[in-house]
Amino acid sequence: MANLKERFVDFIRSLQDEICSAVEVIDGQAKFQEDHWERPGGGGGRSRVLSNGKVFEKAGVSTSIVHGEMPEALKKNMKTDGHSFFACGISLVIHPENPMVPTTHANFRYFEMYDAEGERIDAWFGGGSDLTPYYLFDEDARHFHAEQKKAADSHGKDLYPKYKKACDTYFRNHHRQEGRGIGGTFFDYLKANEERSLEDWFNYTTDMGRSFLPSYLPIVEKRKDLPYNDDQRYWQELRRGRYVEFNLVHDRGTLFGLKTNGRTESILMSLPPRVRWDYNVEPESGSEEARLVEVLRNPVEWIKD
């Protein structure tokens, strides 16, 4: 039987194929462009980007499999004396054209650390997926969270509420006192312990990865043909500015990639093509835009048992 890291590499490559195929079908016009890259120091990846589609303005789905000596910046950041590492994962961001369709992000990864003799001294899984709407449809939020909860519950009823809260806490622009979106699940440093083995966490992480498409695509199908106007598009571009702020200031994956000499184009493929930072824009009181901001400031429990 293949070892854990080989099986996870197979999983992320297969999931990349599945997601890209589904996105192309629902877009009906644009196709992903693919390029392969190598990382100085070891490993590389496969990046796919779709641009200027009928439904999606930009979609990026990238897999990376990197290894090598632990950079000093990473050692300091992780407070470790590990000698070398192996990391693999899939990361995606989808930016729709229509502001009635939410942006989404997902990431699923596995990390191993080794001593100077090449013996594994640590290993963990991480990941999650979340939704960033520009106009809030409560039923869409409930659907997204329900699919996340269904996948998590098969591995323990404690996991969804724990990692839903972690998502609300992590995907937050603290300098704005608001969430990047309406959450989902976020988990990191899932290590073997008395309750669960690494194999258990492998099964949990892969099931959460498989839950992405049924979480998101039905929302796209429902909203992609809704009418919108220039003011709503303007609001979408303003909110995208907050998305960029999070990715460049707070996102661990972005910082990890840059500190380990990852490919910059692939790391920053998450950024939207059109975005605004107009000064001090506040939504009109009582508007749908204001309702969204209120929810972003005060996370909602979308699924109640």
pLDDT tens profile 144-197: 999 999 999 999 999 999 999 999 999 999 999 999 999 999 999 999 999 999
Lowest mean pLDDT among 50-54, 70-74, 140-144, 295-299: 70-74
- pLDDT-based confidence at 234, cuts 50/70/90? very high
pLDDT at 32: 97
Judged by phi (left if over 0) then psi (alpha if -120 to 50, else beta), residue 184 lies in left
Higher pLDDT, 38 or 100: 100
Mean pLDDT of 277-302: 96
pLDDT at 276: 95
Catalytic residue flag (residue 250): no
pLDDT at 73: 67
Q: What is the CATH number of domain 4-274+282-293?
A: 3.40.1500.10
pLDDT tens profile 111-126: 999 988 888 999 999 9
Mean pLDDT of 216-230: 98
Sign of the torsion formed by the C-alpha atoms of 302, 288, 236 and 97: positive
Over 80: is that where the pLDDT of 213 sits? yes
- pLDDT-based confidence at 305, cuts 50/70/90? low
Mean pLDDT of 35-42: 88
Over 60: is that where the pLDDT of 1 sits? no
Q: What share of the chain is helix, strand, coil (3-state, %, to 5)?
A: 40, 25, 30
pTM over the 0.85 mark: yes
Distance CA 223, CA 136 (A): 11
Q: Tell me the domain boundaries of the chain.
A: 4-274+282-293
pLDDT at 150: 98
DSSP symbols for 6-65? HHHHHHHHHHHHHHHHHHHHHHSS---EEEEEE-TTSEEEEEEEEES-SSEEEEEEEEEE
pLDDT at 258: 78
pLDDT at 265: 81
Over 80: is that where the pLDDT of 292 sits? yes
CB atoms within 10 A of CB 245: 16
- pLDDT-based confidence at 51, cuts 50/70/90? very high
Over 80: is that where the pLDDT of 75 sits? no
Higher pLDDT, 7 or 41: 7
DSSP symbols for 19-35? HHHHHHHHHSS---EEE
φ/ψ of 79, rounded to 5, equals 55, 55
Query: Residue 11 has which token pair?
Result: 């999983």
Lowest mean pLDDT among 32-36, 75-79, 83-87: 75-79
Marked catalytic residue, from 36, 67, 105, 145 = 105
